[in-house]
Amino acid sequence: MELKVLDQAETEAPKSGCSAGSCGSTDDQLSHLPEDIRQKVHNHPCYSEDAHHYFARMHVAVAPACNIQCHYCNRKYDCANESRPGVVSELLTPDQAVKKTMAVAANIPQMTVLGIAGPGDPLANPERTFATFRELSEKAPDIKLCVSTNGLALPDAVDELAKHNIDHVTITINCVDPEVGAKIYPWIFWNNRRIKGEKGAKILIEQQQKGLEMLVERGILVKVNSVMIPGINDQHLQEVSRIVKQKGAFLHNVMPLIAEAEHGTFYGVMGQRGPKASELQALQDACAGDMNMMRHCRQCRADAVGLLGEDRGSEFTMDKIEAMEIDYDAAMEKRAKVHAAIEEELAAKAAKSSATTVVPVEMLDGRSKPRPVLMAVATTGGGVINQHFGHATEFLVYEGSAEGARFIGHRKVADLYCSGNDTCGDGESVLGGIIRALEGCEAVLCSKIGYEPWEMLEEAGIQPNGEHAMEPIEDAVMAVYREMLEMGKLDAPLADEEAQATA
Amino acid sequence: MALEIVASCVNCWACEPLCPSQAIYEAKPHFLIDAKKCTECEGDFADTQCATICPIEGAILDAVGVALNPPGSLTGIPPARMAEAMAELQAH
């Protein structure tokens, strides 16, 4: 691991330049992608923090079988990671899935993307998966199709994938080293045998890499998902990032391990912990010098419906869908109009947003470069600060620095601080949970905030700020950053950063 | 000689297409093996296919009723540790 020092030095450098997404519209990880790729993904809700407030996606659960075992997954309850938590997924036949997709497309015209993500591995269920894709590309050509896979069966499926309307494939790649792999995958099913340990992991890794290369050759976009497992693959994922970028993956999504004993997974039962928000961010930053990093994945379910972070699945159960009459030609016309209006709104917003809000050099006054600051933001979307602190179910985290504002990720809060009824007695403990979730943030920007949480946040070293309501997020973050700079708060590094730097 | 699928089956469909004798069929509340058709893969494969892909410990039994994938064999979780964790959860 000593060698990593050199790598870190290399990856530090681009952070101040454009390649780490710290110039222009830094909210958007897509801003520095080549134009042709951006065209393909700009209306994909999963690929842009901005787009996901406007466009919706859905998953259909047609693929129950799996060909490998992962230590973060319990097949009895579906998978806790990899976009498939939950026990209630209603398994659909391809016909039902097509019906459901068209019903959702007609009723939620913002829905642009249909994904198949499980609850097993879509490519371990090729008949069901491809029957769904085949029928949809015929009947609903205005819906983008995507699929996610563990990669084991990918090389055999590439030609079939290329035939349909599929321009994104997600491969979950947690390692490129069989020794690491053996600690994540206890077995794979391969050539009619169950193969355990390093031998199985080696085959899986080879298949993933081969599949990635074959997709890139055919011009199909590849996103790589990795589950960050502290002590298992956290160091290793930088190498994974470097290799998949080199082979042509366009985006890397490092997600935190979800492991609780009640999930009954190997990691959950054995007490393997997930990463802290600060550890996840540090790894994403370390990878970002080499790779476009995805920062706003909500790890949604295999049967999710709607905008990211919301689930309207219960409106579209099979019994409700059977009763719907769908005129898809009419729906397509309506959808085209809705999409055009959203594009217009997004374009207007992009034109309006201030080019950059970098700290002016004269303000630095010959002082050494001020340290960056993390800030939490309460927003319901639209790129502005427009949510009451007590109504936020999640906070976006931005980093303000001398280079500008950049989107870092999101932090979910378990319970609303204010649920609007008589449960305020629990407010204190709920607030404790929110403060823990905001670990590392020095300010929280919201439209409004009550007196009580204000005090407790301040005590915890997080400065509440309600002065920038309805302002664009990046502008507000940089305004607060400049204030902190003027007050001399940014000269000295934080105590724990100092400790880390000398460690 | 035939294998048997029991109640812990989660209906994941993984085994059904692998059976060389088409002995496995969808049923409620879980998949079943037609004992008259099952050959235990003899003459076709070295390993019984359904038990080899099945992700659930204890869901498939051999002809004398012994689990082909005993507790801990697929997840790697030692049965004692699993029992301990479940007891802890119950206590809460």
Which architecture does CATH list for A361-502?
Answer: 2-Layer Sandwich (3.30)
Question: Residue A2 has what pLDDT?
Answer: 34
pLDDT at A6 over 80: no
Q: Between these two residues, A34 and B69, which has the higher pLDDT value? A: B69
CA nearest to A193 within chain B: B52
Band of pLDDT at residue A234, cut at 50, 70 and 90 = very high
Instruction: Pick from B45, B60, B77 the residue to mutate for testing the A interface (most A CBs within 10 Å).
Output: B77
Band of pLDDT at residue A494, cut at 50, 70 and 90 = low
CB A292 within 8 A of CB A300: no
Instruction: Please report where in the chains the tokens 């659930």 appear, as a residue.
Output: B56
CA nearest to B49 within chain A: A192
The interface residues of chain B toward chain A in range 23-52, judged by CB-CB distance below 8 A, are 45-47, 49, 52
Q: Which of B18, B56, B82 sits opposite A76 (nearest CB)?
A: B56
CB A130 within 8 A of CB A138: no
Structure tokens at A259: 């492991």
B88 reaches A (C-beta below 8 A): yes
A55 reaches B (C-beta below 8 A): no
Which residues in chain A are closer than 8 Å to B46, comparing Cβ atoms?
Answer: 192-193
Q: Between these two residues, A212 and A33, which has the higher pLDDT value? A: A212
Instruction: Name the DSSP class of A118.
Output: -
pTM greater than 0.90 (yes/no)? no
Question: Residue A18 has what pLDDT?
Answer: 32
Instruction: Please report where in the chains the tokens 């309460």 appear, as a residue.
Output: A378
Q: Do A75 and B46 touch (CB under 8 A)?
A: no
Question: Residue A74 has what pLDDT?
Answer: 86
- Where does chain A hold its CATH 3.30.420.130 domain(s)? 361-502
Q: Do A266 and B75 touch (CB under 8 A)?
A: yes
Average pLDDT of A98-106?
Answer: 93
Give the 3-state secondary structure of residue B87.
helix
Which residues in chain A are closer than 8 Å to B76, comparing Cβ atoms?
Answer: 71, 186, 266
- A453-466 pLDDT per residue, tens: 999 999 999 999 99
H-helix or E-strand spanning residue A169:
strand A166-172
CA atoms within 13 A on the CB side of A237: 31
pLDDT at A13 over 60: no
Which architecture does CATH list for A4-322?
Answer: Alpha-Beta Barrel (3.20)
Domains of chain B: 1-92 (3.30.70.20)
Which residues in chain A are closer than 8 Å to B11, comparing Cβ atoms?
Answer: 64, 91
The interface residues of chain A toward chain B in range 84-113, judged by CB-CB distance below 8 A, are 91
Q: Is the dihedral of CA A357, A363, A365, A371 positive or negative?
A: negative
Residue type, A361: V
pLDDT at B66 over 80: yes
A66 reaches B (C-beta below 8 A): yes
Question: Residue A77 has what pLDDT?
Answer: 59
Q: Between these two residues, A112 and B4, which has the higher pLDDT value? A: B4
Q: Between these two residues, A407 and A236, which has the higher pLDDT value? A: A236
- The region of weakest confidence among A78-87, A188-197, A449-458 is A78-87
Average pLDDT of B64-80?
Answer: 96
Question: Residue A406 has what pLDDT?
Answer: 84
Instruction: Pick from A71, A92, A189 the residue to mutate for testing the B interface (most B CBs within 10 Å).
Output: A189
CB A63 within 8 A of CB A132: no
- Where does chain A hold its CATH 3.20.20.70 domain(s)? 4-322
Strand partners for A267:
none
**Range with the largest mean pLDDT of A341-355, A380-394, A485-499, B70-84:** B70-84
Say what the ipTM of the complex is: 0.96
- The region of weakest confidence among A85-89, A319-323, B39-43 is A85-89
Average pLDDT of B6-26?
Answer: 95
pLDDT at A76 over 70: yes
Q: Between these two residues, B92 and A466, which has the higher pLDDT value? A: A466
CB atoms < 10 A from the CB of A432, how many? 12
Proportion of chain A above pLDDT 90, given as a percent:
44
B80 reaches A (C-beta below 8 A): no
Distance CA A243, CA A248 (A): 9
Band of pLDDT at residue A1, cut at 50, 70 and 90 = very low
Structure tokens at A241: 């990032």
pLDDT at A86 over 50: no
Instruction: Please report where in the chains the tokens 């340290």 appear, as a residue.
Output: A371
Query: What are the angstrom distances between the C-alpha of A349 and each of A25, A344, A383, A472, B26?
Result: 11, 9, 9, 10, 53
A194 reaches B (C-beta below 8 A): yes
Question: Residue A357 has what pLDDT?
Answer: 57
Which residues in chain B are closer than 8 Å to A66, comparing Cβ atoms?
Answer: 12, 14, 55
Q: Which of A69, A192, A268 sits opposite B74 (nearest CB)?
A: A69
Question: Residue A421 has what pLDDT?
Answer: 44
Question: Residue B89 has what pLDDT?
Answer: 86
**Using DSSP, how many helices (H) and how many strands (E) does chain B show?**
2, 4
Band of pLDDT at residue B75, cut at 50, 70 and 90 = very high
Task: Kindly report whether the peptide bond that precedes residue A464 is cis, defined as omega within 30 degrees of 0.
Answer: no
Q: Between these two residues, B9 and A300, which has the higher pLDDT value? A: B9
Question: Residue A423 has what pLDDT?
Answer: 46
Question: Residue A8 has what pLDDT?
Answer: 34
Average pLDDT of A319-328?
Answer: 88
- A335-380 pLDDT per residue, tens: 999 989 888 887 877 776 554 456 666 666 666 778 889 999 998 8
B7 reaches A (C-beta below 8 A): no
pLDDT at A81 over 60: no
What rounded mean pLDDT belongs to chain A? 81
B/e letters for A239-257, b = 16+ CB within 10 Å, e = fewer, are bbbbbbbeeebbbbbbbbb
B56 reaches A (C-beta below 8 A): yes
Q: Between these two residues, A118 and A260, which has the higher pLDDT value? A: A260
Instruction: Pick from A69, A76, A78, A90 the residue to mutate for testing the B interface (most B CBs within 10 Å).
Output: A76
- The region of weakest confidence among A2-16, A19-33, A143-157 is A2-16
